[in-house]
Amino acid sequence: MTRALLTLTARQLLGRRRSLFIVLLALIPVLVAAVYRLAGGQTDPLPIEFAAGILDTLVIAAVLPLTALVFGTSALGAEIEDGTAVYLLTKPVARWRIVLVKIAVAAGATIALILPPAVLASVIVLGGDEAALTPALAGAVAVGAVVYCALFVALSVRTSRALLIGLAYVLIWEGIVPSIFDVTRWISVRQYMLGTADLISGAPRDVLAADLGGGPALIAAACLTVLTAFAATRLLQRFEIGQRL
């Protein structure tokens, strides 16, 4: 049953138009990296700084949240919207299992579509040296994809406007607020990702501008994921079929 749910969700998510859009989105860092490379010998900004810049401002702050938003809100939200959630919820599958499968598939799809282009972009900029950035990138993308997808799956069970609210959250809370108020770094997925990347790469902290240490970042990310998955399960348990049109 779980396997059927997994393959079904994957097929729903990786539909033609949606994947095409995500692939185009994911290729933006590659494009920027190629422009940087074609512009020739760079001293300002240095390749490592530029790669970290792409990683932070493009992948971590824009491409990944938007991808996770699209996949996270449609993994369960599209079923609710289309009315096929009825068939899902009347099957003898525990609600927590449904939630976990949806989060896992959305996060998996996000990682699968985002990570290869991101790695390609960093390789193009760095030209093979400074290989430490690639595992850091992978770790950060994995952490961010799981936390964001958990959040957006929970949000899509709660409201039919999950996409818009999620966008406002990503752009305003993750984008603007941490630069003004320092405390919010504890509840910012972007900072969890930067902290993780920082922990793995072992680069000096100012290269990635992480405000949060790697350990605390991972603990906070894990807590947030468990909490939101729990909340999504509760919401789905109380979900009444046909309550939303």
Partner 1 sequence: MTAGPVPRGTIYDLGYEGYDGPRQGRRYAVWSLYVLSLRSAFGLGRGALPKVLAFGLVTVALIPALIQVIIAAIGPEEDFSFVQPHEYYDFIQVVIILFTAALASDLVGSDRRFGTLVLYFSRPIRWADYGAAKLAALATGLFAVTLLPQTLMFFGNWLGAADAWRWAETNAVDFAPIVGSGLMISVTFAAVGLLTATYAARRAFAIISVLALFLIPFIVVEAITDISDDAKYAAFASPVHVMRSFTLVLFNEVPAIDLPWGVFILAAFAYAAAAAALLLTRLRNSV
The binding site for partner 1 (CB under 8 A) comprises: 17, 21, 25, 28, 31-32, 35-36, 39-40, 42, 45, 53-54, 57-58, 62, 66, 70, 73-74, 159, 161, 163-165, 167-168, 171-172, 175-176
Smallest separation, CB 39 to partner 1 (Å): 4
Smallest separation, CB 168 to partner 1 (Å): 6
Considering beta carbons, is residue 162 or 220 the nearer one to partner 1? 162
Considering beta carbons, is residue 65 or 108 the nearer one to partner 1? 65
Smallest separation, CB 59 to partner 1 (Å): 11
Buried b (16+ CB within 10 A) or exposed e, 148-185: bbbbbbbbbbbeeebbeebeebbeeebeeebeeeeeeb
3-state SS, residue 85: helix
What is the C-alpha to C-alpha distance for residues 165 and 92, in angstroms, rounded to an integer? Answer: 31
Smallest separation, CB 171 to partner 1 (Å): 5
What is the C-alpha to C-alpha distance for residues 193 and 231, in angstroms, rounded to an integer? Answer: 22
Distances (CA, A) of 79 to 50, 87, 163, 165, 244: 41, 9, 14, 18, 12
Considering beta carbons, is residue 107 or 163 the nearer one to partner 1? 163
Tokens of 71: 């996949």
Considering beta carbons, is residue 113 or 163 the nearer one to partner 1? 163
